[in-house]
Homo-oligomer: A and B are copies of this chain.
Amino acid sequence: MEHRDSCIIRHFSHYLALSERDKVLLNELERTPIEVEAGDLLWEEMANAEEFCSLRSGWAYSFRYLENGTRQILEVFLPGDIIGLREFAFSQRLAGVRMIEDGVICRFPHAAILRLFRQSSTLTTVMFAISSRQQALMTERLVNIARRSARQKLAHFLLEMHQRLRQTEPEGDCHLRLPMSQEVLADLLGLSPVHVSRTFTALDEDRLVHRDGHRLTIPDLQALARHGQFDDCYLIDNLRSLVVSES
């Protein structure tokens, strides 16, 4: 059985060492990879919620439409992420999910997680950790949206993405691929597209970020972090100390 390439195993292994049996169990979740295209809807708001989804490649985001037509984007998913944890206790989707780019996903039913709970306490623990991390990301976004200026919001978000990407692929430090339109950015940060554009130009004038299409440059990470009150502690999760200390 070849699972050296499985994204979900790499993701889980980040938290705890997995036994061979754990890996087999995880692989069962990813038995049916599906190719999807940019713009594809993985599911709609209010649809029946009966499965999770693991993201093998490509980016995606979850969103909610309000009655007045505005859209709020809740989270951005990167390869390795698990989508749909929020609805575990619900029978309806609370948010839709859409692909940003082409990618590959694997759907598996809610019940598969219940089976996991019975079969492996290690995987259970990691699953809980992943859910807890997603909650931490949302918390930070909440604070960002509620209390910071447009410049700070944008700066903070860009640094968050930079840091998240670096955790999986430590690439060239100050460059960053950001395959999303300013409209998506606006819906993510609670701003108007126009103001996102204004803010980019302002940050550019101050030499804090430079944007060229989907290519982003951050000449001075420290400076931008100061600007956006960015502190990465909410991204640094660490289960091992907990589990080890339990002996």
Contact = CB atoms under 8 A, between A and B. Distances in A.
Interface stretch (A3-11, A21-29, A230-238): A230-238
Interface in A54-107: 64, 66-68, 70, 72, 74, 85-92, 94-95
A121 B117 contact: yes
Contacts of A113: 128
B90 A236 contact: yes
Nearest to A131: B131
Given A66-B147, A121-B118, A190-B147, A128 B88 contact: yes
Contacts of A17: none
Q: How many copies does the complex hold?
A: 2
Interface size class of A (residues with CB under 8 A): 35 or more
Given A131-B128, A229-B66, A94 B145 contact: no
Interface in A105-156: 110-111, 113-115, 117-118, 121, 124-125, 127-136, 138-139, 141-143, 145-148
Contacts of A134: 135
A38 interface: no
A121 B131 contact: no
B72 A136 contact: no
Given A136-B94, A190-B147, A114 B243 contact: yes
